[in-house]
């Protein structure tokens, strides 16, 4: 349904310009008023031309709005991707800092570190082969 509504202003513009051209072409033949409204064929041609121009301007507004929406959507997607990248970088930094602090803590000479290293060495000797 939305795609049909998008085509409507273009089709209406084309139709109204075609009617205006047709009335203009036959306007020289008969300039008597049509029906009870006192307008000549050339005046009807001018009215359809004005209506066609209004439909063209409406179509231009719709296309402009659709273009702005798609551009804004692309910008938002880029911003989201940048934010995700920044979050990943900050997470990696935090993990690296944690790893460094953990390694420094484990390498400090203390009785707990010595016993943990001794247990690890005995584990390697027992199951390493």
pTM above 0.85, yes or no: no
> pLDDT category, 1, cuts 50, 70, 90?
very low
User: Is residue 42 a contact partner of residue 24, using CB atoms and an 8 Å limit?
Assistant: yes
Q: With 80 as the cut, is the pLDDT of residue 78 above it?
A: yes
Per DSSP, helices labelled H in 1-129 are: 2-26, 41-107, 111-127
pLDDT at residue 25, rounded to an integer: 73
| Cα gap 122→102, rounded to integer Å | 22
> pLDDT category, 84, cuts 50, 70, 90?
very high
Q: What is the rounded average pLDDT of the residues 100-124?
A: 74
Residue of higher predicted confidence among 57 and 117: 57
Q: Going by C-beta distance under 8 Å and a sequence separation of 6 or more, which residues neighbour residue 9?
A: 55, 56, 58, 59, 62
Q: With 60 as the cut, is the pLDDT of residue 59 above it?
A: yes
């Amino acid at each position: 349904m939305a795609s049909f509504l998008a085509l409507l202003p273009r089709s209406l513009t084309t139709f109204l310009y075609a009617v205006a051209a047709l009335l203009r072409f036959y306007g020289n033949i008969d300039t008597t008023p049509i029906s009870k409204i006192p307008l000549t064929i050339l005046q009807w041609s001018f009215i359809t031309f004005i209506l066609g121009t209004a439909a063209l301007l409406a179509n231009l507004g719709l296309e402009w709005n659709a273009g702005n929406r798609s551009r804004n959507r692309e910008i938002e997607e880029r911003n989201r991707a940048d934010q995700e990248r920044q979050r990943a970088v900050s997470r990696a930094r935090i993990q690296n800092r944690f790893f460094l602090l953990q390694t420094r803590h484990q390498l400090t000479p203390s009785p707990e570190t010595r016993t943990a290293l001794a247990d690890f060495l005995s584990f390697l000797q027992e199951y390493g082969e």
